[in-house]
Structure formats: C-alpha cells, structure tokens
Chains A and B, each alone.
Chain A
Amino acid sequence: GEQVEQLPSILRVQEGSSASINCSYEDSASNYFPWYKQEPGENPKLIIDIRSNMERKQIQELIVLLDKKAKRFSLHITDTQPGDSAMYFCAARNSGGSNYKLTFGKGTLLTVTP
C-alpha cells in the first residue's frame, strides 16, 4: 500500500518567517494530496489540497507544491503567525478502483515563536 513520509517531525520558526514541510509518497497512482492542521484538543481540519493535474496552489499564506516525477509535495506557510502553531499532516490518496483511502504522514509539530 501507499506510504507517505513527512519531514521534519518538529519545526520551530520565528514569527514572520516561512515554514516548509515536505512529504514524499511511493505510489505513482496517487492523485490527491490534502494537508490538515490539528490544534491541541481539536480534530484535524483540511486547510489546503492539490490534485495531480496541478503543480502549485495558493490560498492566502499557504502554498502547496507538487512534483509528480519526484513523488514529492510540500506545504509552505509564508509570514507565519503564532496562530499557525499546530500539528500539520500531509496525506495522499490513491483512487484506484473504489479505494478512497487517505494515507497520512506522521505529522509535523510547528511552533511559531514571537
């Protein structure tokens, strides 16, 4: 089955700087890549996603890049704020047949310091 590696596991940045999280996947048939943010005591919330027919997507300060050849995708948070501090998860979906399973990375704990 699909495997998703996510790095780094811990990331600490200063307010106003950028934060980058990288993920790689194994199954070239994966075609959908969401990112989730989970704050302490809360459930994971979808913040941005990208499909395999795109290379870049931006929503406000969030930028996702996808390199299908290298089987890598990344999340970049520009101008980080303390409110961006949370656990972030990447995921990949292989929609072969009726398998609608998301495989998650192990998460990145982002801390934005003032």
Chain B
Amino acid sequence: ETAVFQTPNYHVTQVGNEVSFNCKQTLGHDTMYWYKQDSKKLLKIMFSYNNKQLIVNETVPRRFSPQSSDKAHLNLRIKSVEPEDSAVYLCASSFQGAKQYFGPGTRLTVL
C-alpha cells in the first residue's frame, strides 16, 4: 500500500535547467527525507526534515534545496542541473527515524 507519493516518476531535462520534485506522505509521520540513489545503487541521504525543521543537511551542492510546507510534504528543487545529478531521488518518511518508508522514486536524466 503506497503511502509515500512522489511526482514525477521520470524527468528528462538538459544541463542548466531547474527541476522540482514533489513528495507527500499520508502516514502522519513527523520526519521526511530525500535520498539520492546512483547507478551503483548507493543510497545517500541528502536532507531530513522533522516537523518542518531541517535537521539533516548533508554535504550536497548548493543547487539542491529542500522545501517543506508542512509535515506531510517535502519537495526538492535542483537549480541548474548537472550531468552527475542523473539518479533516482527517493523520498521517505518515518516517525523519529524508525521504520522509514520510501516513495517510488523520481528518476532524473540530465542530457
């Protein structure tokens, strides 16, 4: 049963463009995350929000910025994409870090 929703499923764009990905969870969780999964399947956390507050901000390029309007939504904006940004971006949610549930992912291809 899907309870973490992501849009779009796929996005193809050119270098230098701006993209935005949306994530919504209906589980009533207090924490949401963005992960990047590269072609080698490595899962790297990028950002984490707890009750709309940024609590984890890993070393990612400044062109990446999370946006949280409320506990149930966490969007990701990439300003001026680069080829190395091609990856699957996974949103997840949890209650205090336990039992994280992942969304279906957004596959980004940068040409």
Q: How far is the CB of B57 from chain A (nearest CB, A)?
A: 10
Total residue contacts A-B, CB cutoff 8 A: 58
The answer on a CB contact under 8 Å between B56 and A34 is: no
Known: A43-B104, A89-B43, A107-B41. A100 touches B97 (CB 8 A): yes
The answer on a CB contact under 8 Å between B43 and A93 is: no
B49-66 interface (Cβ within 8 A of A): 50, 55-56
- For chain B, give the interface size range: 20 to 34
* Binary CB contact string for chain B from 15 to 54 against chain A (1 if under 8 A, 0 otherwise): 0000000000000000100000000011111001010000
The answer on a CB contact under 8 Å between A100 and B104 is: no
The answer on a CB contact under 8 Å between A34 and B45 is: no
Closest to A43 in B: B102
Cβ of A11 under 8 Å from chain B: no
- For chain A, give the interface size range: 20 to 34
Cβ of B13 under 8 Å from chain A: no
Partner of B56, one of A45, A101, A107: A101
The answer on a CB contact under 8 Å between B43 and A101 is: no
Interface of B is mostly: strand
Interface of A is mostly: strand
Closest to B4 in A: A43
Residue picked from B42, B50, B56, B97, most chain A C-beta under 10 Å: B97
Partner of A99, one of B42, B43, B55, B100: B55
Q: Which residue numbers of B lie inside 8 Å of A, CB to CB?
A: 31, 41-45, 48, 50, 55-56, 90, 94, 96-105
Interface CB pairs A-B, < 8 A, 7: A36-B102, A43-B90, A45-B102, A49-B98, A100-B50, A100-B94, A104-B45
Which 7 A-B pairs have CB atoms at the shortest separation, nearest pair first? A100-B97, A43-B102, A104-B43, A101-B56, A93-B97, A100-B31, A44-B102
